[in-house]
């Protein structure tokens, strides 16, 4: 699929006070689609018709109270939840993943890294065998992706029943696996090495690694380009 064929894809990126990856994601999406996505301020109570909403990384509201807590209660997130309820696609990256758990769009929580230190480095992900989802449709089970993380609260936690249900339903999208990079394979202590999960219908995905920071060999990896481009292509099919 060519850039011109993806140019009709309508993408919106939410923007909160303290976000610092919204424009990184905008550049990545524009490079993939040859069309600039809409940036939607957090006080907006509605969304124009879109195919995909991306809740980006950063430190929304300075991570005050709890990561993603205030952003999850911003007016725009009601519109995002309505979009998802209609079957619309939503991608939350890093802080965006935290926001999606705060809204209840995804189960579980993201808590302090096990080492109580900010983790900022390249990690390796393994694509899990998942339910039908546009976010994993173009990837193969077992496919590895090198994508960087940058977070202090990326430790995914849920009770055992929830974790079992995610596993049984094919809702675990990515797991951390060993690589040649320094440091432990799992950079934050996440339960069952979970790096990303899907909603019950596969249309919402949250992930801690930043694909928008791995779209060129100059970034040390272009696997984020692969992940994002395959997701966008699936949304067009």
3 state DSSP class of 100 = helix
Catalytic residue chosen out of the listed positions 94, 102, 151, 153 = 94
DSSP string, 194-218: EEEEE-TTSSEEEESS-GGG-SBGG
212: annotated active-site residue: yes
Tokens 């899907």 belong to residue: 198
Listed in sequence order, the DSSP H helices in 86-124 are: 95-103
30: annotated active-site residue: no
Interatomic CA distance for residues 154 and 147, integer angstroms: 14
DSSP string, 30-42: HHHHSSPPEEEET
3 state DSSP class of 154 = coil
3 state DSSP class of 231 = helix
Catalytic residue chosen out of the listed positions 42, 151, 210, 219 = 210
Catalytic residue chosen out of the listed positions 21, 67, 212, 219 = 212
Interatomic CA distance for residues 89 and 77, integer angstroms: 14
Interatomic CA distance for residues 44 and 9, integer angstroms: 21
Residues with active-site annotation: 94, 210, 212
């Amino acid at each position: 699929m060519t850039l011109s064929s993806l140019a009709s894809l309508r993408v919106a990126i939410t923007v909160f006070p303290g976000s610092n990856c919204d424009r990184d994601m905008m550049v990545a999406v524009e490079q993939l689609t040859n069309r600039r996505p809409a940036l939607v301020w957090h006080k907006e109570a509605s969304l124009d018709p879109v195919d995909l909403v991306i809740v980006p990384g950063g430190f929304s509201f300075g991570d005050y109270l709890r990561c993603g807590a205030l952003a999850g209660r911003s007016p725009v997130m009601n519109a995002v939840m309505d979009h998802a309820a209609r079957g619309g696609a939503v991608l939350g990256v890093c802080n965006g993943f935290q926001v999606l758990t705060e809204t209840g769009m995804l189960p579980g929580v993201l808590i302090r890294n096990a080492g109580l230190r900010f983790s900022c480095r390249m990690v390796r992900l393994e694509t899990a065998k998942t339910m039908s989802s546009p976010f994993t449709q173009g990837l193969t089970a077992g496919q590895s992706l090198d994508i960087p993380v940058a977070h202090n609260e990326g430790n995914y936690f849920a009770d055992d029943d929830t974790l079992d249900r995610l596993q049984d339903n094919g809702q675990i999208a990515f797991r951390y696996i060993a690589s040649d990079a320094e440091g432990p394979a799992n950079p934050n202590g996440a339960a069952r090495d979970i790096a990303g999960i899907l909603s019950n219908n596969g249309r919402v995905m949250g992930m801690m690694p930043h694909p928008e920071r791995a779209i060129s060999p100059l970034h040390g990896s272009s696997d984020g380009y692969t992940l994002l481009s395959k997701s966008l292509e699936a949304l067009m099919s």
